[in-house]
Amino acid sequence: MNISGSTILVTGASGGLGSAMARELAKRGAHLILTARREEILASLAEDIGAEVVVADLADRADVESLIDRARDVDVIVLNAGIGSDTSFESLTADHIDRSIDVNLRSPIQMATAFAQHKVGSAAPAAIVLVGSLSGMAATPNTEMYNATKFGLRGFSLSLAQDLDGTNVTATLVAPSFIRDAGMFAEGDVDLPTGVRFKNPDDVSAAIVKAIENGPAEVYVSPIELRLGAAFSTIAPRISARVMKAVGAREMTGRQ
């Protein structure tokens, strides 16, 4: 579908990746509806690109319902919001589990489902983009909830894409790896092993554009060696865990 002239809702737009996506889509002629919790950041970005602001917390079910209502009139939803501030399993609480599931999994599933149900069979094309992660393929230590929710999001997205095949609506999972200058690894000041390559926010924005315009089931934003490593971990998780231990993955998270 064409981005120019379309209306696109972007969740998590106050973060570095969300901001980069919004700017790229606006540059291509889309009207943006930006949503997140941080109103001041949203307002500044909206002023720059002529966007609309809707403040919402995706852990609040009433806010999610309001976004679903607002999305009925848009052409594309980019479900980018997520939290990655995992704690060690020794400190994991029910509240932390609930918030991770609400923000990273329940809200995008609910919004994507409602959007698809409303749009299927309409005259115009529509697109759903769910922002996942390579962490939805390969587990790492101390990231139980992030892995759990991203694994779940990938499964949902790929299944939804099959159900929407042949309709006017597409569903695409965009799966970044380590992103320089934005996202959870940059914001968490995580030190990666020497030689690990990064992508950047512009690469993620390009993947969002590809997802909207072409509607593939999945778009990876990662160096080939990381994608291959993630794929290998799905068939040999024990060996993958040994590799994680050897490269000091626990130490990188700051929780030993």
Overall number of domains in the chain? 1
Q: What is the pLDDT of residue 255?
A: 43
Q: 12: phi > 0 → left, psi -120 to 50 → alpha, else beta; which?
A: left
Judge whether 211 lies within some domain.
yes
Q: What is the pLDDT of residue 234?
A: 83
Using CB atoms within 10 Å of the CB of residue 95, give its burial: 0 to 12 exposed, 13 to 18 middle, 19+ buried: exposed
Judge whether 167 lies within some domain.
yes
Q: How far apart are CA 93 and CA 78, in angstroms?
A: 29
What are the catalytic residues? 146
Judge whether 88 lies within some domain.
yes
CA atoms within 13 A of residue 71's CA, in its CB half-sphere: 30
Q: How many other C-beta atoms lie within 10 A of the C-beta of residue 85?
A: 12
Q: How far apart are CA 161 and CA 126, in angstroms?
A: 13
- Where residue 239 sits, what CATH number does that domain have? 3.40.50.720
Supply 150's token pair.
Answer: 């991203």
Judge whether 226 lies within some domain.
yes
Supply 54's token pair.
Answer: 């809707």
Residue with tokens 């949902």: 156
Judge whether 1 lies within some domain.
no
Q: Which domain holds residue 153?
A: 7-253
Q: How many other C-beta atoms lie within 10 A of the C-beta of residue 242?
A: 11
Beta carbons within 8 Å of 92's beta carbon, 6+ residues apart = 144, 145
Supply 8's token pair.
Answer: 């696109």
Judge whether 220 lies within some domain.
yes
Q: What is the pLDDT of residue 84?
A: 79
Judge whether 75 lies within some domain.
yes
Profile the chain (256 residues) by mean pLDDT over runs of 10 residues.
97 94 98 96 96 97 98 97 80 92 97 98 95 89 91 98 98 89 54 68 96 97 85 81 66 48
Q: What is the pLDDT of residue 33?
A: 98
Judge whether 2 lies within some domain.
no
> What pTM, to 2 d.p., does this model score?
0.89
- Report the DSSP pairing between strands 76-79 and 52-55: unpaired
